[in-house]
Structure 1
Amino acid sequence: MKFILSVILTTLISISSFATDTKIIVRAKAKDAKFIGSSLGGAKVVIRNKKTQTILVQGKTEGATGNTNTIMNTPLKRGERITDDNTAKFQATIPLSEPVFVTIEVYSTIKDNDVRVSATTDLWLIPGKHILGEGIIIEIPGFLVTLDNSKSSQTFTLKELQKNPLKVTAKVVMMCGCPIEKNGMWDATQVEVKALIKLKDNSITEVPLHFKSTNTFEGTVNFQHTGDYEVIVYAYDSTTGNTGVDTAHYKITP
């Protein structure tokens, strides 16, 4: 029995001795913008064995969003980097004894799992063959859209709203947290923001939300009837295809 255990232990030690540390860097880049890093809490990264679905390592990107001029304005030649040592990344070391085909999953910083944006890619990891420098860059499309929580899910009377119509305020931000401003690098005039007003699951009207200040759009909703309303606010950029949505509910009584 002792002999058998000794053989098993020797075998395990022998197998583990063949494992070679393999380093990899993964970065999450917002579409038409910069990198997702510490300022928004980081993008979640999961690296798993595609065949077995076993998670090899996971974590979050940390660091700065990157150099705006380099990322957004500078034409790049082949081999040139758009990142530096401070640019947000997730770096991991994975012990491998043989090549492994992996899936890399990256998730946006949105906390609601039902609408969390994700992107994936597959590649081979080879023992001792590090993927560093620029690393693997995965693009996350869309906007972060957040309605003013202080006003959502409230009850109003129709009488009071006829005197003081409800203002819907939405915060619209690039996935990296970059600012949307009028005539800015991320131009507010390029982003269409509207509220879809629904009563009893029927879309009844659209209300445009206009740019007010950095990342902030606002519009006025005139309710004509009592009932339970759902207000769906979307942001859309026809040039990049970026989109984002948030919802609020209002109960209107007589």
Structure 2
Amino acid sequence: MKGFNFYRLFFVLIFSIFSAKGFAQETNIMIRAKAKDAKFIGSSIGGARILVKDAVTGAILDEGMTIGSTGDTEKIMKNDWKRSQTLSDDKTAGFLAKIDIDVPLFVTVEALAPFNKKQASVLSSTQLWVIPGKDITGDGVVLEIPGFVVDILSPQTHERIKASEKIELKANVVMMCGCPVTEDGIWDASQYEVKAIVTDAEGNSTELELKPTEKPSTFGTETSLEKGLYEVLVYAYDAATGNTGVDKTNIIIN
């Protein structure tokens, strides 16, 4: 009788556990971040930080980084797309989220990218229903990341420069996937507006155009300044797509 009670209790407990979990199923969601007017954001620029959350509670269900290549340039940038056409392949950057659910769940998916470029990182998000056991694969959930990555190369932060010297203004500008900007290239440097706004301590500003140099993705010009403290802001703008990007630094002229 004691043995019977033991097994009866054991099966009641097992039944209760499975009932509580509702037979949760692991469900896969492929998540990718794609630069606007460019390619996928992957390992070459540090990837995109992905968060999958319960849309109601905010609980994090899975998180990670997109890993892989930026994808096939010919397919993504040159060919005409057709409905249901897959732009990615097995090497294209993505993060495969795995969540255990027993009922359909409304989730929020966030991508912060490019994650390693803090002055350029953009948060993109979307929401969708996930059904237990119904994987979302292929291109999966694709989040668009607009903008440019702009890095001021010269002058350096807090650099001290003599008022008698010419000041070189130089910036690196790439797509959010890290793809290069070159004259007559897929991403044509001559089509982008790149300018520096130099502002003194009194708030007076001067705007200077930075032109493409021989080095890919590099724009530059020269100027001179009087003694004082200055903020240098460089921006890139594409009128065709609305992509923008900014970087700032501060210098001392003595």
Q: Same fold (TM over 0.5)?
A: yes
Q: Deviations over 1:210-249 (max 9, x none)?
A: 10120111111210x2211000000001011110000110
| Equivalent in the alignment of 1:47 | 52
Query: When the two structures are aligned, how many residues end up with a matched partner?
Result: 247
Unaligned runs of 5+ in 2: 1-5
CA offsets 1:43-70 (integer angstroms, 9 cap, x no match): 1110100100001001011111111111
- Give the distance between the partners of 1:67 and 1:201, measured in 2 at CA: 49
Q: Mark the CA change 1:99 to 1:183 in structure 2 (over 3 Å): closer, same or farther.
A: same
Q: For residues 76-225 of structure 1, what are the structure 2 equivalents within 5 Å? A: 76-111=81-116, 116-148=121-153, 151-159=156-164, 161=165, 165-200=166-201, 202-212=203-213, 213-223=215-225, 225=226
- The residue identity in structure 2 corresponding to 1:41 is G
| Cross-structure match for 1:236 | 237
Q: Which residue of 2 aligns with 1:67?
A: 72
Tell me the distance in 1 between the aligned counterparts of 2:150 and 2:202. 22
Partner secondary structure for residue 42 of structure 1: coil
Q: Distance in 2 between matches of 1:145 and 1:131?
A: 34
Cα distance, 1:14 vs. partner? 3.2
Q: Name stretches of at least 5 consecutive residues in structure 1 with no aligned partner.
A: none
State the alpha-carbon separation in 2 of the partners of residues 110 and 243 from structure 1.
Answer: 17
Could you say which residue in structure 2 is the equivalent of 1:27?
Answer: 32
Question: Which position in structure 2 is the counterpart of 1:226?
Answer: 227
- Please say if residues 110 and 144 of structure 1, whose CA atoms lie closer than 8 Å, have aligned partners that are also in contact: no
Q: Deviations over 1:54-97 (max 9, x none)?
A: 01001011111111111011112211111111111110211101
Counterpart-to-counterpart distance in 2, 1:217 and 1:187:
12
CA distance in 2, matches of 1:15, 1:69: 50
TM-score, structure 2 as length reference: 0.91
What letter corresponds to residue 102 of structure 2 in structure 1? Answer: S
Please tell me the residue identity of whatever aligns with 1:187.
D
Q: Which has the larger radius of gyration?
A: 2
Following TM superposition, the consecutive aligned residue runs of length 4 or more in structure 1 with deviations greater than 4 angstroms are 2-10, 112-115
Q: What is the Cα-based RMSD across aligned positions, in Å? A: 2.2
Q: Provide the rounded CA distance (Å) in 2 between the counterparts of 1:201 and 1:55.
A: 46
In 2 relative to 1, CA 182–112 (structure 1 residues): closer, same or farther, beyond 3 Å?
closer
Q: Cα distance, 1:112 vs. partner?
A: 6.0
Match of 2:251 in 1: 250
Preserved contact between residue 228 and residue 250 of structure 1 (Cα < 8 Å): yes
Return closer, same or farther for 1:250/1:10 CA change in 2, 3 Å cut-off.
Answer: same
Q: Residues 140 and 201 of structure 1: is their aligned pair in 2 closer, same or farther, counting only changes over 3 Å? A: farther
**SS of residue in 2 equivalent to 1:82:** coil
Percent identity at matched positions?
42
User: 1:60 is matched by which residue type in structure 2?
Assistant: M
Amino acid at match of 2:244: T
Offset of residue 114 of structure 1: 6.7
Distance in 1 (alpha carbons) for counterparts of 2:244 and 2:131: 37
TM-score by length of 1: 0.91
* 2: CA distance, partners of 1:118 / 1:209: 28
Q: Aligned letter for 1:231?
A: V
